[in-house]
Amino acid sequence: MLFTTFFRIGLFTIGGGYAMIPLIEAEVVDRRQWICREDLLDLMAVAQSCPGVFAVNIAIFIGYKIRKTPGAIAAALGCVMPSFIIILAIALFFHQFQDNPWVARAFRGIRPCAVALIAAPTFKMARTARINRYNIWIPAASALAIWALGVSPIWVILAAGLSGFLYGKLLHDA
């Protein structure tokens, strides 16, 4: 079940791991109810913080949460197999259609769609994480630090973790 679920998600996702989020949420949280929305948000935060491909990381974490090691393996394989098969097919036949104007136009049309597929879950995650007008500065400052100042995302993640820990200690001890 995990393999086929993540195979289907991987098969119909264009734009990478972040574009998979709405499909994963619809399938794993809404349809199958394997995990709750808050758990998915936590798993995404951990998957994003770990080295490797986000889509594979999230598949592994969800698979492990549901069926331990066999579930992690099944979900990971299901997630990567569609891409592997498609890339293999493209590699075999790309030279035959790489200069085709229809193909170039199709890819130009797919790009904005991929951006939308990434933007939509970002706003949904912000709602789930309770981002509001009082704390919007945190993700905005983080994004600006990474984008405009060239700060490594690792430092941003470490600073956020340390800040959250200290805030929790101050709040808990108060």
**Exposure class string for 26-48: b at 16+ Cβ within 10 A, else e:** ebbbeeeebbeeeebbebbeebe
Please check whether residue 77 is in contact with residue 3, taking contact to mean a CB–CB distance below 8 angstroms: yes
The predicted structure's pLDDT at residue 29 = 94
| pLDDT at residue 148 is higher than 80 | yes
Confidence category of residue 33, pLDDT binned at 50, 70, 90: very high
Write the pLDDT tens digit of every residue in 68-115: 999 999 999 999 999 899 889 888 887 777 788 888 888 788 888 878
- Average pLDDT of the chain is 87
Using pLDDT thresholds of 50, 70 and 90, give the confidence band for residue 174: low
The predicted structure's pLDDT at residue 31: 95
| The predicted structure's pLDDT at residue 15 | 67
Tell which residue, 49, 52, 60, has the closest CA to residue 24.
60
Q: Report the distance separating Cα 86 and Cα 80, nearest Å.
A: 10
Residue 62's pLDDT is what?
95
Residue type, 85: I
Q: Is the pTM of this model over 0.75?
A: no
